[in-house]
Amino acid sequence: MNDSFLNLPTEKREEILNAAMRVFSMYEYKKASTDDIAAYANISKGMLFYYFNNKAELYEDVYDFAHKIIEFNMIDEKLLTITDFYDLITYATHKKMQVLKKYPYLMNFSIRSYYTDKEDISDTIRHKSTSNIKTSYHIFFKNIDMHKFKEGIDPYEVYKMMVWMVDGYLHEKMMNNELINPDESEMMYLKMVKIMKPATYKEEYL
């Protein structure tokens, strides 16, 4: 994005990014129409490409926008004071699902962006995704009591496994053209916690 876009009123910037998220959530990157994005954003296609050099740059900025929405709405005082790994995951999952209810296109966009294999922007998004997982872990889990884990268990590896399992579940839903229900997704996450906690925690902390 260029300075002209950054100088727009906040409401207009969000309108454009939300319009792009809407289209990118419905179609694969190559099939997503910039004409549709411009129409939903109530601007001309020429203005869209005045603000963004190309479609790939727009997609990357929407990806960053989506990540910031989730992070901004999830972080609160309680989140940063929880010291139990699984209590934190349970609380953060509930917060995240509330965000996904508020932004109807965010969930599908997030899933599609995670599975952009063989797309023009695949390498960039894959790098951002890996970086975001690491960053989120260090932000959210910095106060966790790691002594509860069994000897030889790496909490970061547990976190990554849970992320991958959820992503796999959501991808299966998308591939089967099934609607993704945030409440159902939260329940699935809680089931995972019940399985993972006794497998990774010392008995005295169960």
pLDDT of residue 21: 93
The single residue listed with the structure tokens 């990806």 is: 63
pLDDT of residue 194: 92
Model confidence over 77-92: pLDDT tens digits?
888 899 999 999 999 8
pLDDT of residue 131: 75
Q: Tell me how far apart the alpha carbons of residues 134 and 131 are, in angstroms, rounded to a whole number.
A: 5
Model confidence over 142-190: pLDDT tens digits?
889 999 999 999 999 998 888 888 777 777 777 777 777 778 888 888 8
Model confidence over 89-106: pLDDT tens digits?
999 888 888 888 778 788
Which among 91, 98, 33 is positioned nearest to 59, based on CA atoms? Answer: 33
User: What global pTM score does this model have?
Assistant: 0.78
pLDDT of residue 62: 92
pLDDT of residue 82: 93
Q: Which residue has the higher pLDDT, 196 or 170?
A: 196
The single residue listed with the structure tokens 């260029």 is: 2
Q: Tell me how far apart the alpha carbons of residues 67 and 75 are, in angstroms, rounded to a whole number.
A: 12
Model confidence over 34-72: pLDDT tens digits?
999 999 999 999 999 999 999 999 999 999 888 888 888
pLDDT of residue 115: 63
pLDDT of residue 50: 93
pLDDT of residue 99: 84
Written as one string, the DSSP assignment of 164-206 is HHHHHHHHHHHHTT----HHHHHHHHHHHHHHHHHHHB-GGG-
